[in-house]
Structures are given as structure tokens and as C-alpha cells.
Structure 1
Amino acid sequence: MVVHAEQMAEDAPLVSLDANALEAAHVLADRRLPALVVTDVDGSPHSILPASQVVRFLVPGYVQDDPSLARVMSESMADRAGEKLGRKRVRDVLPVERSELAAVNHDDTIIEVAAIMARLRCPLVAVMRDGRLIGVITASRLLELSLPNR
């Protein structure tokens, strides 16, 4: 039996480009999501915001370049990073270079979905039908459906 993307799709919260970045981070954390679909002003999918990108925004560039510096960061510096996120919009934490939207058609197969995820290195894809978002597929959902039973 062939499984199509619309059969794998799950509901997921959406965030707009102009939503508060800290609130979006709370949605990611509270729901333990790997990513969120970010919508444009007209409500159409614009991009995917991986949780790892939010984490990256929280860590100063010089610490990313030299992780040993993380040992000397105080907890108050981490708190300030959270405050910094609260002053930003979702559009501010997206990667500077906009990549291709990780989206699949509603009738794509598991392997087609996996190919998009792998090529774009994205933990979540938007499932589209007639230009509308009908759900998302996470990498963990894809693995659940494609791995053989134990």
C-alpha cells in the first residue's frame, strides 16, 4: 500500500513572520516541535523555522566560533539572550539567506517526502494541496511510518 503525504500529515501551529520570536520559541519548547511553519502576511507558507535556528540565535557568534567560551558565560548572559529574543520578530531569527520552502505535495510518497527533508536538511515539511497548507510531516513521523517494526 502506498502512503501519501496527506495521510502522514499532522496539524501543527503556525507563526507569522511578524510574530514575537520569544512566543514562537515557547511554542517550539512547549510542544517539543522540531520546527514551525512560518507564514507570510497573506497566510501562505513562507519558510520553516527549525528549533535549532532559534537556539543558534540565542548563542553569540563568538561562542559559536569557539564553544570553549561557553564555560565563562554566566547565567545572566543566557537570560539576556532570552530577553533579546523577546525583542525580535520571527523574521529576525530566520536565516539571512532564504532557502527553498520545505514543502511537498499532498500526493507525494514517503520516499519523495524523505528526499525533500534530506536535500533541504529540514526536520519538518509543509504538506500542500492546491497551494494551501494542509498539515506538516516531522522527521520523527516519517521515521515512525517508514522503519520496519521491531
Structure 2
Amino acid sequence: MHAVEMAEEYPVVELDSDALTAARLLAERRLPGLVVTDRTGCPQSVLPASQVVRFLVPSYVRDDPSLAGVLNESMADRVADKLGGKTVRSLLPQEATELPRVNADDTIVEVAAMMARLRCPLVAVMEGKTLIGVISASRLLELALTR
């Protein structure tokens, strides 16, 4: 099976899209992440849902998780405030990461190897410079386990 056969339509966001809108899309559709494109539709990165969660947790709590018990639930009420006015670009990790993309004719094993190497739940399926679709880790597992 080739990547083009595994690819599905999948929501994408642009680098300059509203961060709160992207977070809501992740939450409402229970997605593991979003493919992030530039203005021309060319994939640039993946925004994992875990990265959005990381952005919401104060750095001092990430550094010392025991402090999480001190915070009250009102932090959850301020999620929209923290994301307000931000772009998707501002949520992406600072360190440059390789964009998870595969070619339309790559095999299921090649797709799995890319996901495993980059520890990414999504890969963009490309035909030249055109985004054909996206393969999620759950889609790949579904196909691998039914063989």
C-alpha cells in the first residue's frame, strides 16, 4: 500500500492563523495535531496538540510539576486569554524540526519509519510540492492491523 492510498483529507492551518481557533479545532475534533502550511498551502510543520498544552502550562510548573497542585482550576478559565492574539507560528517549538512529509508512492513501512524517527503523529503526503492529504498514526495502525 502506498501513502497516496492511505492519505485522508485533514484540517490544516496556516502559520499566521489564529492560535485559539487552531486549539479549538484540535479540541473539537480530538485531533493529535494539525499540519501547518504557509500562505501558498505548502506544509511547513506539524503542530501537535501536546505542544498547545505545553504552551498553556506555565514554565515554572513544567520545571517543577509539584507546583501544579498549588494552582486552582481558574487556570483553565484563562486558556482563551493565553491564546488570544497569538498565531499558530507562536505555538510552534523554537527549535527547527524536520517537517514530517512522505512522497505519494512511499510504502506503509516508509511512512511508519518517518513517524517513528520524528516521533510525530502526522505526516503530510506530497506529490511534488502539492499536499495530497495527511496520514495519522491511528490511520496507519488501522491499516497495518487489518492486513
Q: Which residue of 2 aligns with 1:70?
A: 68
Which stretches in structure 2 are left out of the alignment for 5+ residues? none
8 A Cα contact 1:58 1:82, kept in partner: no
* TM-score, structure 2 as length reference: 0.95
* Percent sequence identity over aligned pairs: 68
8 A Cα contact 2:41 2:131, kept in partner: no
User: C-alpha distance in 2, partners of 1:100/1:132?
Assistant: 18
Query: Is the aligned partner of 1:132 residue 2:130?
Result: yes
Secondary structure of 1:74's aligned partner: coil
User: C-alpha distance in 2, partners of 1:60/1:87?
Assistant: 18
My pick for the range that moved more, 66-75 or 5-14, is 66-75
* TM-score, structure 1 as length reference: 0.93
2:23 maps to which of 22, 25, 32:
25
The number of aligned residues is: 147
Secondary structure of 2:97's aligned partner: coil
Task: Map Cα deviations across residues 79-110 of structure 1 (whole Å, 9 max, x no partner).
Answer: 22331112210000000012110000001001
- Structure 1 runs of 4+ aligned residues shifted over 4 Å read none
Q: Which residue of 1 aligns with 2:86?
A: 88
User: C-alpha distance in 1, partners of 2:55/2:80?
Assistant: 10
8 A Cα contact 1:59 1:81, kept in partner: no
Q: Which residue of 1 aligns with 2:97?
A: 99
User: C-alpha distance in 2, partners of 1:52/1:6?
Assistant: 27
